[in-house]
Amino acid sequence: MSKGETVPVIEFCNVSKNYGMIEALKDATFGVNKGEIFGYIGPNGAGKTTTLKILVGLISNHSGDVKINGQLPSENPNINRLIGYLPQDVGFQEWRTVDHALVTFGLLSGMTKADLVERVPEVLKIVGLPDAGKRKIKHLSSGMKQKLKLAQALLHNPPILILDEPLSGLDPTSRWQLKKIIRELSETNVTILFSSHILDDVEDIASSIGIINKGSLAKVGKPQELQKELMGGDGVEVTSPNIGEKIKQIESLSLVDSAVLNEFDSTQITIMFIPDVNLDKGLIQLMDFFVSNQIIIHNFNYLKPSLEKVYLKYVMEGDSA
């Protein structure tokens, strides 16, 4: 690592895990920096949960290295205390009250009763359940139960959160609330890695994304980088009654890569700039051309591929391999 680079909070280095003849994870290599929300996305059975269980120490017989703050677990046996974990299958005894359940989880994790008296109300406020402490778990909605699961992961105030499908099965309101909480935690420099098979959730909150398919990490990057890579360069869609006759001239502009007329609408054209061009310069050149050629613009849209197209590209490539 060169001078000035920061050590990733979470780092996987060529990590693999087999279950008999099944390769659940193959040479996974990626890093998550402080305060990032890393969205780990892939089909069911792709290897997401295996990755997370390796990270939190529930699976130890794997190859490759997993580091937290630059340290291996063997170098710091207490390193997993830095992690708050929300597994898919965390369960509560339904007859307990919310307070009782959280105190029990806290004691099992090594916290003192004195600490928990102060911390339990704090985490319930963080997750939006400030008045739920005396309620029995069996009377909570599914969204409230998911918030309670997040509360148990936050009890010991960890700087790292590992969340396995935290938004699965929630109604739209609960999903929105949980995503808001995750964003707010990230703003306090909590580093978050969450898995999901739901594209919209990842697109809404992730600052970095890892796409996994059949145990292999197909791609890692920022959402904007992945979208731009799929597109090639930036592009715009222009609607104008007299633009079709100028298509060859537009395509000859130095910063334009291609100009294609919509086959169903002769007034609409898609213009792609050359890869890595400064978008502002490309738009200025284009606007100068429109003005000098008296092209009347009715509509002008910046084009950006959806995360769905990026995801499908890498998943379909893995399926065809």
Query: What is the residue type of 308?
Result: E
CB 97 within 8 A of CB 137: yes
Three-class SS state of 68: strand
Q: What is the pLDDT of residues 135-149, one digit of tens each?
A: 999 999 888 888 999
What is d(CA 59, CA 42) in angstroms, rounded to the nearest whole number? 20
Query: What percent of the chain clears pLDDT 70, i.e. is strictly above it?
Result: 93
Query: What is the residue type of 34?
Result: K
Residue 94 has a pLDDT of 83
Residue 85 has a pLDDT of 93
Candidates 205, 194, 206, 215; CA nearest to 149 is 194
Work out the pLDDT band at 2, boundaries 50, 70, 90.
very low
E strand or H helix at 83: strand 83-86
How many residues can be counted in the chain?
Answer: 321
Residue 231 has a pLDDT of 55
Residue 209 has a pLDDT of 92
Candidates 198, 196, 211; CA nearest to 166 is 196
Q: What is the pLDDT of residues 11-23, one digit of tens each?
A: 999 999 999 888 9
Mean pLDDT, rounded, for 176-202? 90
CB 280 within 8 A of CB 250: no
Q: Is the pLDDT of residue 303 over 80?
A: no
Three-class SS state of 10: strand
Q: What is the pLDDT of residues 205-242, one digit of tens each?
A: 999 999 999 899 988 988 877 766 655 567 888 999 88
Q: Is the pLDDT of residue 253 over 90?
A: yes
What is d(CA 133, CA 43) in angstroms, rounded to the nearest whole number? 36
What pTM was estimated for this model as a whole? 0.76
Query: What percent of the chain clears pLDDT 90, i.e. is strictly above it?
Result: 48
Residues 6+ apart with CB under 8 A from 208: 32, 33, 36, 37, 38, 39, 220, 221, 222, 223
Residue 95 has a pLDDT of 87
Residue 18 has a pLDDT of 93
Residue 318 has a pLDDT of 59
Beta partners for 32?
Answer: 10
Residue 304 has a pLDDT of 66
User: How many Cβ atoms are within 10 Å of 116's Cβ, its own excluded?
Assistant: 21
Candidates 131, 134, 67; CA nearest to 100 is 134
Average pLDDT, the chain: 87
What is d(CA 156, CA 97) in angstroms, rounded to the nearest whole number? 19
Mean pLDDT, rounded, for 113-119? 92
Q: Is the pLDDT of residue 3 over 80?
A: no
What's the count of helices (H) and strands (E) in the chain, helices before strands?
10, 13
Q: Is the pLDDT of residue 47 over 80?
A: yes
Q: Is the pLDDT of residue 282 over 80?
A: yes
CB 316 within 8 A of CB 237: no
What is d(CA 235, CA 77) in angstroms, rounded to the nearest whole number? 51
Residue 200 has a pLDDT of 79
Of the listed ranges 76-80, 106-110, 223-227, the one predicted with least confidence: 223-227
Residue 292 has a pLDDT of 92
Sheet holding 256-261, edge to edge: 256-261, 268-273, 235-239, 299-303
What is d(CA 27, CA 22) in angstroms, rounded to the nearest whole number? 14
Work out the pLDDT band at 260, boundaries 50, 70, 90.
confident
Q: Where are the beta strands (DSSP E) in 165-265?
A: 191-196, 208-213, 216-221, 235-239, 256-261
